[in-house]
Structure 1
């Protein structure tokens, strides 16, 4: 029902638009024709005015010629040509005026205009012949008589009063221009009222149609919208109460059937979802436990491999370096061999301890390693660490400072192997990230309760924004990677863990002049010496 009514209204609107288009085309044609008539009338009036002005300029030229003043013959030819051109243009405009307005009232006016143009054309030909014969006046000639003869040539050629004829045509054409303007105003007013009336009729009709369909569509559309919002909100029990035989009743029936089917699907889906949730929860807990175990095992494996590659590199490098230096060159005294073997044995012992630590790390973490605590003289331990670092320093071209003076008062309670490992990491980093010719120093400073060990280098330094991350596992800054690509980023992490295991702390300070690693350990009071 609504479809038929809407189709009928659309067809009526299409018909109205077609009629409006035809009306627009007709009014446009009438208006355009009226505007053209006014333009042609104005151009004809202007042509007669121009012809009068050109005739007056030609008269002035002839007067100058008679008085003996300078008068260019080219100007005479231009003025005659201009007058001839104006007459031709007036002929064309007259023909256009006849084509635009062929009424009986205008036919007499067109005839008089044609007759005037014929007379003017003949007068212009006679005037051209007379002007060609004009010469300067002879001395003693009668000037007034010459001027009178000149006036007769210009005003009464062939017995026609050209001046009065042009003036009458100017007056008549000016009146015609005013008449055409008035007619154009009337036409425009007629077109304006016509379109205002048509617009009013269309507007009233559109408002009436909109009001009718608005009232007819309000209730069914509102009920359909409420039903759609209910479905969107999940209220599948809502039903649209529309009855009848129209299209809205059909849509309401389809929506109600869809809601009923969705409600049945929801009930089945809810039961299935509850069963699946129970199964998923059980399976998820099992998978989470298995995944946590796998992650833990994988993390331990990765840390073990990384720590092995890092911790075994330095001792094996020291052992190989000691052996190469000992075997190089000529034979050496037995004492040098013994010293080299002693250092190799000490480093091998340290390597064994490192392997034990790595195996322990594979089972747990470095923070849980047990320490064999005993009094340790850090002066002696620092000297041994410097001796072990000598091989890498020689290879890098780095100068090592002198060992600290042995005072006997720099004692701590700790595991000597792990403390040597800790100092070895600090010296290894300082040497590895220094340039050839740089210097690495180790100093000890006793405080009332602590002992401070400082490893200072003149190397590449650490950017300020990277300092908070240097103790993270596997972290290596961009500058460090460029200088030494083979690092693993584990040394400082292990060193800090060892420092904490001994009850101390490790800090790093860096600037353009190098890096300072400051190790602080609880100080052990000096042991009293036995007296003989």
Structure 2
């Protein structure tokens, strides 16, 4: 037998492959077209059944709503509590159901055009026309129907009501609804039977076409598997060698067909890649050294610049916030002392003492700001001694009254326990509570009230809850998880008070946690906010003189 030239061999193998793929593709296209048609048929049958079920359900719901309306009328006739709003809601529901039935009836006309179906559709349209008139009749009749006069025959009143509900355009509505439901039941059973028959037929068609495609694919797969197994194995081994980086590997495949040509191309590519890899490796090493050195320099410079900018911004923000509360307290005390006529010396002394306390608080705030400028807010220091929280609360109340008075806000407190001993820093506790009182006053409107209370919690170990409640603008629910984020301010807070930096609550949380406690906020817009500080009470420890 004469061996055909290499070009002819290549063309023969390509033609065989092309014809096989074309045959397989044609079968797949035919099966896809059949599948699309089958899906369309199935969807049409399912949609017909769904529309029939919805129409049947609509008639049933209409009868149910009408029965509820009849019950309402019975309650109205016999003096029970039957509200007009309930009647209107039932009538509105009946109108909605009737509108849905009309829409479904129009859809059924499009989906089903058989002789029996056309007869049912005509009966359905006639029934819907009568029901539409009956609903209008019910609306007019119920609107003008009043409870029967005293002494009127009850049977006569009920007969009038029954005539209103059961007769329309000379037809018995009860019989009309029952016949409609029965008719839709028959239609629904027919649609389900049609759907089951169609699905069974489509299933047989799908199985047949799928089996044909599977057999054709199997035969072609067996044929090409025998023809391609050896060449593909050699090419696969060569590709795996290239993927693993073994560029010295050569594919042992001779001949003049497509596979041999691909093998020679892969061998040439491997040789060229080996040479290029050597050159690129040398160049990449030199470039990586330069890039690494420059990247380190730029990273260091950028980090230093960002850190300096962040610290600068935070320092200005912290100064504006932390200095506001004590300066407000000092100003408030001074205004109280200067307001009105001359006061006794003791009152001036008391005001000056509170101003002194606020000044000391101002000094502590300045120290904190310097600390934050050097590191971060968590570096605040605490000087723990035995503290009676009641004394701190009294100081906070005294300073807070001045701030509240300056803003036209009323500040009062619930009676708190006689003593609340704990281990902590009195100045930090005072700073914490004054910041919360300041927030409550700032975001309250003139004439509103801020309330303080302290409650001992029976637990092990014992705790105390300090609650600061205001009646101010409140916080939206989506903003509550963010209130302790540094420099965050809710939109309504910004619109109420443009000044502020959003640092009070983050600092307060650090101070609370520094004392082993927790802080939480509950709020509702325009109904106020409650800040709850929970602190542990301690056993008696020796007090250190101030």
Of structures 1 and 2, the larger Rg is shown by: 1
TM-score normalised to structure 2 length: 0.48
TM-score normalised to structure 1 length: 0.49
